[in-house]
Amino acid sequence: MIYTLIIVVAIWFMYTRFGSAKNVKSLRDEDFRNEMKHNPTLMLIDVREPHEFQGGYIPDAKNIPLSQLSQRFSEIPKDRKLLLYCRSGMRSGKAGGILMKQGYTQLAHLQGGIDAWKGKVSK
């Protein structure tokens, strides 16, 4: 019984810590690129840390690390569609959840992160 409880608590912790928000749309690489192509007013946000961003990023992305997100809401317009990405999709999903709680509604993130990206990368 105690082992079952420990497992349930561990799963809950992992989900709440690392799981993306349910209502944040998850886009595959092709769909993400199509959104970028057909919506010139959107804002592309890379939520990785600055040293990761410097190693390569999707062109036109703004680097707002997840660790600084709550201090930088003023840089993120609520009236534009936001596309988020990170390395693997975990942090961008978490960032989407944080933004939703702040009233942002037009959100999507790159499933698999930049690791799944097949488009151009700038350095």
Convert the pLDDT of each residue in 58-75 to its tens digit. 999 999 999 999 999 999
In the predicted structure, residue 5 carries a pLDDT above the cut 80:
no
H/E run at residue 101: helix 90-101
φ, ψ of residue 110 in degrees (nearest 5): -80, 115
Convert the pLDDT of each residue in 32-50 to its tens digit. 999 999 999 999 999 999 9
Please, are residues 91 and 20 in contact by the beta-carbon 8 Å criterion?
Answer: no
In the predicted structure, residue 22 carries a pLDDT above the cut 60:
no
Please, are residues 37 and 70 in contact by the beta-carbon 8 Å criterion?
Answer: no
pTM: 0.82
Catalytic (active-site) positions: 86
Q: DSSP secondary structure string, 41-73? A: T-EEEE-S-HHHHHT-B-TT-EE--GGGGGG-G
Q: Which residues pair with 81 in a beta bridge?
A: none
Residue ranges and CATH numbers for the domains of the chain are: 20-116 (3.40.250.10)
In this prediction, residue 13 has a pLDDT band, given cuts at 50, 70 and 90, of low
